[in-house]
Structure 1
Amino acid sequence: MGEENDCVNKAADRTVEQWLSHAQEVVPLALDKARQVKGFPGRWKMIISRLEQVPTRLSDLSSHPCFSKNTLCKEQLQAVSKTLDEAIELADICIQEKYEGKLQMQSDLDSLLGKLDLNLRDCGLLIKTGVLGETTTTTTTCVSSNLSSASEDLPQINIKELLARLQIGHLEAKHKALDAIVEIMREDEKSVLSVLGRSNVAALVQLMTATSPRLREKTVAVICSLAESGCCEEWLVSEGVLPSLIRVIESGSLVGKEKATISLQRLSMSHEIARAIVGHGGVRPLIEICTTGDSVSQAAAACTLKNISVVPEVRQALAEEGIVRVMLDLLGSGMLLGSKEYAAECLQNLTASNETLRRSVIAEGGIRTLLAYLDGPLPQEPAMGALRNLVASVSMEFLDTLGFLPRLVHVLKSGSLGAQQAAASAICRVCDSPEVKKTVAEAGCIPLLIKMLEAKTSGAREVAAQALSSLMTLSHNRREVKNNKKSVPNLVQLLDPNPQNTAKKYAISCLLGLSASRKCKRLMVSHGAIGYLKKLA
């Protein structure tokens, strides 16, 4: 035991130059032994081919100006030396034919070949990544000696070296480096983002295919942070992160699925990436998360699908995967309010311009579900917007049976400004006959539309004026507008010639409808209508 410890200590005390010298001395011996082996000729031929490349890699590494100052160089030379020693040992066993079994030796030789390939690749990466010029032994002591305790020594860790370690070495070393990066990002995310390069992103994406579930989970957590930062979307996508994220959503752990879904949520804000998610088969797994995932994952999946539905050319593909039914179910029973709002936005997008999709939503009971959702205390725009898109595709009789007008009045009274605007737009779409216009007025919409003429946004004022203009073609409705004290003052204000005032033409139409009344004429004059009209002329 004492002798073993002495050997270990001596090896640890070697300088990087001594490790280089040792490796250079052992390569010819390993080659000589390998060429003497008669058995397993195919495998040994490949091993010899790799051994012959080692001197060049060692020469490239040792010629770097920072070679002697870098911990990674020393570690890499230790790994190469260990592999060379193993090659000599296996060659001796094969020469003497003392192996226990042929299959076991084949496995051992395959393992050796893999280690040689890893050594050659890692030597090349050390030069390629440029990390040798950026890290020195003085700044990386705690990384090389105890990566697992990184949380205790965060200030000492050289982040560029940690990122390089994601590309170099065996799986366990990468695991420890990733642990340290996760810990640093928890404390100071910007410190990692500021030095991140494309090769580091590529290494992270590569780790998402690791055999270790825990390693994949931690990698997805880092990817999620990168996606949410918005600093390297292009790198992530070009390095192939989308199919990897989709695979995690399909078969990863609960935490992995959550982080992968949140990553896609952020990335899908780009129309181009949204199309790519569809192209990689991401819709079905996202829909599955909407039906079976936890609350956070469900909301992230619904938001991702909402983002994708913004792109017109993929809406039919979404429908073919069953998105309409899923979004309606979410609207009725989603775990979080956010999930329901994302579902409403998705339905609004799907029904914006495609009559086939509108019919599909209607056939699935979409109008009833949307109306039920609008019963809430503060109706928002997406649900009312989706309903607005649908109302022209069904009869007013059908809408009446579902309680459409009471909900419309509720939205005009209590909804957000966007919801009120969508409700006024819905009135414009359904008022295609005197009977409907009379019913809408009797439901109490006119006073609410007159009040909406005072809205802060020009779009809301315009659509309110447009709805009133349509309703006022009926004499009974004109009388109701005339008798409202706020109607004339509000309409006159909409004659403002400012180009941003888009409600002018509808205001003029409404005022013309009231001009037969002397009382209304006097009110128009007293509120400055003549001055406005002169400017408009």
Structure 2
Amino acid sequence: MHPATVSPPPPNPPPPPTTTQTLDEITTLLCHLLPYSLSVKSFSTRWQIIRSKLATLKSSISEISDSPHWSENPLLQTLLPNLLSTLHRVQTLCDQCSDPSFNPGKLLMQSDLDMATGWLSKQIQDLDLLLRSGVLRQSNAIVLSQPGPGSAKEDLGFYIKDLFTRLQIGGIEFKKKAMESLLQLLSDDEKSASLVAREGNVGYLVHLLDLNTHPSLVEHAVSAVSILVSANDLSRKCVFEEGGLGPLLRIIESGSMGLKEKAAMAVEAITADSDNAWAISAYGGVSILIEVCKSGSIAAQSHAVGAIRNVSTVEDIRVSLAEEGAIPVLVQLLNSGTALTQEKSANCIAILASSGENFRELILLQDKGLQRLLQLLHESSNSDTVEHVLRAIYSLSASESASRVLSSSTSFIIQLAEIIKQGNIVLQHISASLLANLSMSDGNKGAISGCMGSLLKLMESVKPDGIQEVVANALVSLLAVRSNRKDLVRDEKSLMRLVQMLDPRNELVSKKFPLAVVSAVMGGGSQGCRKKLVAAGAYGYLQRLTEREVAGAKKALQRLSGNRLKSIFSRTWRE
């Protein structure tokens, strides 16, 4: 039996050329192609363009070879072989155009030459970007790892330039890794956003928001843009000026649910800057945001409402909001959205309600618009939400129909009194303004007599502007009820506070306000109220104010000093 024939092992494939060998081959080929292309007579115009591209490439390759760390850069391991392949194709085209016997067809050759020109342009652009970034002049060790906390700005800036270089000229894997590194940087260090805006190519990041881009890159780009616009004014302005608003709105309109949420977050942040808010109309953004409020996810809905609130400060956009049907959607969200969505909706409705009678009528015409606000006021424990609701109700109260409803609502009036007793100064101010404006029944006024002491305390506040006047007006309204006048003078602490405001030395309170309240206390002619005021020392202060000719003081003094009490006044003043 003959032994089986053994096949010889296959020869080992030759090792791939090194980056240095590839660069040397490119240099040699360029030195050959430049003079060779001069001899081509056909398609001379196109060859003139190609020759210009080859000359630019030769300059770039020379600059690369002069860079100290060019061979360590991983991007060149892809760029140089691709460039060498293109140059071989140019060599073939040059041979074909120089061969009289070769006849592929004029249109086909023109197309081939144009394609070659396009390839060369793209590779020139990539090499130029790599050279301008400066990464070839740094050790690769700096490039690969993210600088740690406390690193110098120069190192961090170089790292950002390298990330954007990889993002723009690398293959898909390079781009994905660069995006992941960028997101990691932005997530780990909030301050890095400003440096990214200055050192990175934010315009290219915005370019990646195109839905035709690779899906994973779009997702990463939306995340990065959302972080940038939320970080600070500089990075937000940079994204806006690079045209980020339009692509983000297109994503909200047509992207996946996850992308919609991130894009809506970014649009809300961009429109928070009033200088940017106007642009929402230029991209048809009003209708897009309203649609998200109707049918988007909970998160997207909240951000869309926030963006609508931001742009509602622009007069022209307010008109668009009304025309596009935003108001019924916002009213609906007052009671159906999340707590944050409710707050933003209430804020937006407050802005619209304060913008004019037309908007107030639109809000009131909606299905239980005012009732939904009152319900939210009753249910919400968030002070910001309560503030927005109160501002909206205050603006709506300018409407006669709304004022009638509010004036007759005992539960609402009692809630205002509770806010005056327990709320913060802003809520107290708005609540007092409402009490001063409403035409309440005596029964409702009597039901909230317990808040008069808090109102008097508020009248000593100097901020916010106008609070002393609205508090005085609210008190005068409540003191139209006899029982309330008696309650006030029985409260010694409140009575003393009122009288001390009459002291000319007390400069915190304009004297016209306590004078108005004192006159209201005496409005029913009650001798008991007069006696209490005199006993508290009001007579002496009124006399001093009269001597100084303070408006209203003389009349109040005359009402206080009736004939039957002259002896009491004299004795009290001497004492």
Deviation at 1:498, TM superposition (A): 9.6
Query: What letter matches 2:218 in structure 1?
Result: R
Q: What secondary structure does 1:222 align onto?
A: helix
Match among 466, 476, 485 for residue 473 of structure 2? 466
Residue 25, structure 1, aligned to residue 31, structure 2: no
Q: Which moved more, 1:494-503 or 1:339-348?
A: 494-503
Deviation at 1:375, TM superposition (A): 1.7
Structure 2 counterpart of 1:186: 187
Any conservation in 1 of the 2:396–2:402 contact (CA below 8 Å)? no
Query: What letter matches 1:382 in structure 2?
Result: H
Q: Cα deviation per residue 1:70-116 (whole Å; 9 max; x = unaligned)? A: 427845444422322344457778979799x9999998777654432
Q: What secondary structure does 1:374 align onto?
A: helix
Q: Cα deviation per residue 1:194-231 (whole Å; 9 max; x = unaligned)? A: 35426521221122125222211110100111111114
Structure 2 counterpart of 1:201: 202
What's the Cα RMSD here? 4.1
Deviation at 1:127, TM superposition (A): 4.1
Residue 52, structure 1, aligned to residue 52, structure 2: yes
Query: What letter matches 2:126 in structure 1?
Result: D
- For residues 371-450 of structure 1, what are the structure 2 equivalents within 5 Å? 371-376=374-379, 378=381, 380-395=386-401, 398-399=404-405, 404-414=409-419, 416-417=423-424, 418-431=426-439, 436=440, 438=442, 440-442=444-446, 444-450=447-453
Match among 237, 245, 258 for residue 242 of structure 1? 245
Deviation at 1:509, TM superposition (A): 0.8
Distance 2:295 2:398 in 1: 34
Query: What letter matches 1:391 in structure 2?
Result: S
Distance 1:64 1:531 in 2: 94
Q: Cα deviation per residue 1:386-423 (whole Å; 9 max; x = unaligned)? A: 0110012123785069x633123224315743334322
Query: What letter matches 2:391 in structure 1?
Result: G
Could you list the runs of 5+ residues in structure 1 that have no partner in the other structure?
144-153
Distance 2:418 2:521 in 1: 25
Distance 2:504 2:133 in 1: 63
Q: Which moved more, 1:61-70 or 1:351-360?
A: 61-70
Query: What letter matches 1:6 in structure 2?
Result: P
Residue 505, structure 1, aligned to residue 512, structure 2: yes
Over 3 Å counting, the alpha-carbon distance change for 1:264 and 1:89 in structure 2 is same
Match among 194, 217, 229 for residue 231 of structure 2? 229
Residue 123, structure 1, aligned to residue 135, structure 2: no
Deviation at 1:57, TM superposition (A): 3.9
Structure 1 counterpart of 2:62: 62
Over 3 Å counting, the alpha-carbon distance change for 1:86 and 1:64 in structure 2 is closer
**TM superposition score normalised by structure 1:** 0.80
Over 3 Å counting, the alpha-carbon distance change for 1:397 and 1:63 in structure 2 is closer
Over 3 Å counting, the alpha-carbon distance change for 1:372 and 1:196 in structure 2 is closer
Identity of aligned residues (%): 28
Deviation at 1:306, TM superposition (A): 1.4
Over 3 Å counting, the alpha-carbon distance change for 1:473 and 1:306 in structure 2 is same
Distance 2:39 2:511 in 1: 93
Residue 520, structure 1, aligned to residue 532, structure 2: yes
Over 3 Å counting, the alpha-carbon distance change for 1:500 and 1:217 in structure 2 is farther
Query: What letter matches 2:521 in structure 1?
Result: L
Residue 354, structure 1, aligned to residue 365, structure 2: no
Q: Cα deviation per residue 1:492-512 (whole Å; 9 max; x = unaligned)? A: 455588999466533321023
Structure 2 counterpart of 1:11: 18
Structure 2 counterpart of 1:150: none
Aligned residue pairs, count: 508
Distance 2:10 2:255 in 1: 46
Structure 1 counterpart of 2:313: 310
Deviation at 1:166, TM superposition (A): 2.6
Any conservation in 2 of the 1:265–1:301 contact (CA below 8 Å)? yes
Q: Cα deviation per residue 1:458-478 (whole Å; 9 max; x = unaligned)? A: 335553333112443566654
Distance 1:45 1:532 in 2: 101
Distance 1:85 1:497 in 2: 98
Deviation at 1:167, TM superposition (A): 3.0
Deviation at 1:50, TM superposition (A): 3.9
Deviation at 1:58, TM superposition (A): 3.5
Structure 1 counterpart of 2:566: none
Q: Cα deviation per residue 1:410-458 (whole Å; 9 max; x = unaligned)? A: 2431574333432221222223xxxx4535414x233224324335773
Distance 1:128 1:366 in 2: 59
Any conservation in 2 of the 1:327–1:343 contact (CA below 8 Å)? yes
Structure 2 counterpart of 1:298: 301
Over 3 Å counting, the alpha-carbon distance change for 1:97 and 1:65 in structure 2 is closer
Distance 1:246 1:46 in 2: 41
Query: What letter matches 1:506 in structure 2?
Result: F
Structure 2 counterpart of 1:214: 216
Over 3 Å counting, the alpha-carbon distance change for 1:518 and 1:299 in structure 2 is same
Structure 2 counterpart of 1:287: 290
Any conservation in 2 of the 1:268–1:304 contact (CA below 8 Å)? yes
Over 3 Å counting, the alpha-carbon distance change for 1:366 and 1:66 in structure 2 is farther
Distance 1:105 1:2 in 2: 40
Over 3 Å counting, the alpha-carbon distance change for 1:58 and 1:158 in structure 2 is farther
Distance 2:402 2:321 in 1: 29
Over 3 Å counting, the alpha-carbon distance change for 1:399 and 1:301 in structure 2 is same
Q: Which has the larger radius of gyration?
A: 2
Distance 2:501 2:355 in 1: 30
Distance 2:476 2:332 in 1: 37
**TM superposition score normalised by structure 2:** 0.75
Distance 1:280 1:37 in 2: 51
Distance 1:319 1:2 in 2: 78
Q: What secondary structure does 1:353 align onto?
A: coil
Distance 2:473 2:513 in 1: 5
